[in-house]
Structure 1
């Protein structure tokens, strides 16, 4: 249309920001907010509301060093677990993990399409290394033919064809119900609630009716596994050893793999790009005898997610944990791999600080 059909709103705090996003997307607009770890902590209750009431929302989390205020000008990947299971009760949230500025651009589009198609919050987890430093990337390209995937939104004509509209009923057995936008027709009105509700949209405290809805959300999660971005996998080495990582660790890992290759050590590599983990993640984990999980936090959060959400044998996993607040280096990764594979060569590897392996 050529018209500028958008608005920027400076919210008074993180609670107001996520509330505005949920309200806007419930009403049919596309909206997002950006924050860091402390903001995600504050937004937890609203994220639970959007998950259970099945309202789309998009949040960019530029992860920084925690806990608390931490070191706000340093980088880390300490929000992986917090974002995956944000809010009390049984919740699971779709998360995307860009590795660079270019991927942030394209994942923004994917995040909105996934949020609307799945009717759920989607979080894009960048970090301070990506968010504040200068990056070189290819020219960003926008497809003018792109049309938003609004998901299962019923218009007036479709509503009038129904005998009755039930907001949370799973008609297609994919866990995703049909929704309407406010004002489309009185026949499609329903009460958006974060309290217990039936698949028909009515309030309930009945155990069986509550469980029907919660079990359907698991079917939606299974559908999400088929829709989220696939992992980036380089298995050209055909090795028994693999590296698994996420986000901005990518450049240092690729450099480390080249260094190891020159030393005669072949290593395969998988960069996870989303949660839930898709089937290609499961296959990579199953195909390797030893797996180094490289991440920028103290508590092995990616490793924890892998053990919780996949069938990987825990004995296969070795953590390389970098959490100094500085970007991870290839020398740190090389030293960690050699410490496990060739302890006698450790002395010749470049020294590295700011983390640990185990």
Structure 2
């Protein structure tokens, strides 16, 4: 172990945990992030993982920053290196005087370590041996041992980390006990061998620091938003990184989407492919349900033809696209914002969709309701572009405010309303906003029925190849797009009169850019 005399830093650190996929490290990393959150600290956790089930390198970055910046940095203060194949590169990411915690069981030559960092070799095999007779369980508990070591070195109070574990595994007392014992083993080793008082990176409780805030990932926030928005139908085909949107939604729906007799009032269907899922979604939207599907770039491409049907036949539906790196299969477990143009014009012909761009989990929650309100008000497809960074990583955001505003179902004519109109023309622009009136299947009135078609049609929904009628219909759809511009959330604009350069950004890039702006506007030399 090398001890360097450096200045102590409080409540400002970046920790990178390097392991392999499938090793169980996600739980221990989550325990550390949640413990820091409960201390009131601005913290974020970001997972960089491979596109496989187990065995390839994975990294989890935890950043504490007094300004609330939690984006990834190129250099780290602490690295926990549990993967021999990446250890050399992992220590390269350390700042000078940074701290490397590694598995001494790996028998790594001293010559491979940098001389300007602190190195802590930990005998993990020895520490976990008394904790379980199961080799498999000892493998998983190794992660909690390093969490215990880190928590002791940086001064996370034991009672906080214990409460996090208890809450995480509350219905599994044996799991709670084994994980707490692993935490204790790590903390005890650090106390006896690593001289925690001299460790240069410390955290301390910030009273009221995270009051009225929550720690949540974007996909979970989306699922809550879908529930609040009145979504009752979801069809999907599993694809990274959007799968957990529907998985979480199903968990919430099982609990809250029931009638007074305890029967389910929702339908969630895992389709055979993305084509089926979008067609089911459009069909459900046609019947009057608030219907959606979740996907990523490759799935969005497959949905193009059906998206055109939703646009041209004017059927409300929502696609939640959690973007990843493309083109083609690309990098399924990396983030990208590459679907904007394809989403806006998804399908062939003169097709233009409403696209919403959340920048954090709170906006994911809020825009779920916005998406359905717009879809039904405008009678069209609405596409929401989240991304992997927002969807699968943990953010601190303000506690969600549940709106009491009535859901906007749009222009729907029921039986009584049909009695008052002389004629029902499905695609007629009665109000001058480009939006016609619709009826729902099953409306018991002789005027209610109409043909829903993706072929050319006139304002009464009858088949037509007349060029004047087709042009009139397309011009009405463009007028509806202009109406949409008055309804979508307004952009947030920050004006600096002395600035010579403007920056346009959206989505998860906001996190890095806000920090960059702060750097450019201050004299600080380090992040």
TM-score w.r.t. length of structure 2: 0.49
1:256 aligned partner: 516
Which residue of 320, 344, 368 maps to 1:108? 368
Distance 1:182 1:220 in 2: 23
Distance 2:406 2:343 in 1: 28
**Alpha-carbon displacement from aligned partner over 1:234-255 (angstroms, at most 9, x marks no partner):** 1145523211111000011110
Distance 1:160 1:238 in 2: 61
Distance 2:488 2:498 in 1: 26
Unpaired segments of 5 or more residues in structure 2?
A: 1-256
CA positional deviation for 1:7: 2.4
1:31 aligned partner: 291
Map 1:180-259; keep pairs closer than 5 Å: 180-184=439-443, 185-236=445-496, 238-259=498-519
CA 1:233 to 1:241, structure 2 compared with 1: closer, same or farther past 3 Å? same
2:274 aligned partner: 14
Question: Hey, which bits of structure 1, 4+ residues long, moved more than 4 A?
Answer: none
**Alpha-carbon displacement from aligned partner over 1:149-201 (angstroms, at most 9, x marks no partner):** 00111111111222211000001110001111012123110000000001121
Map 1:52-71; keep pairs closer than 5 Å: 52-71=312-331
Distance 2:331 2:442 in 1: 46
1:157 paired to 2:416: yes
Deviating more after overlay: 23-32 vs 145-154: 145-154
1:171 paired to 2:430: yes
Higher RCO (Cα < 8 Å, 6 or more apart): 1
Distance 2:267 2:427 in 1: 31
Deviating more after overlay: 4-13 vs 46-55: 4-13
**Alpha-carbon displacement from aligned partner over 1:313-356 (angstroms, at most 9, x marks no partner):** xxxxxxxxxxxxxxxxxxxxxxxxxxxxxxxxxxx999xxxxxx
1:46 paired to 2:46: no
**Alpha-carbon displacement from aligned partner over 1:83-102 (angstroms, at most 9, x marks no partner):** 00000000100000000111
Distance 2:478 2:426 in 1: 17
Distance 2:368 2:498 in 1: 33
CA 1:68 to 1:55, structure 2 compared with 1: closer, same or farther past 3 Å? same
2:179 aligned partner: none
CA positional deviation for 1:208: 0.6
Distance 1:67 1:206 in 2: 39
1:86 aligned partner: 346
SS of 2:503 mapped into structure 1: strand
1:297 aligned partner: none
Distance 2:497 2:517 in 1: 10
Distance 2:324 2:446 in 1: 46
Which residue of 390, 393, 399 maps to 1:130? 390
CA positional deviation for 1:10: 1.4
RMSD: 1.8
SS of 1:262 mapped into structure 2: coil
Distance 1:201 1:208 in 2: 15
Task: Return the index of the structure with the highest Cα Rg.
Answer: 2
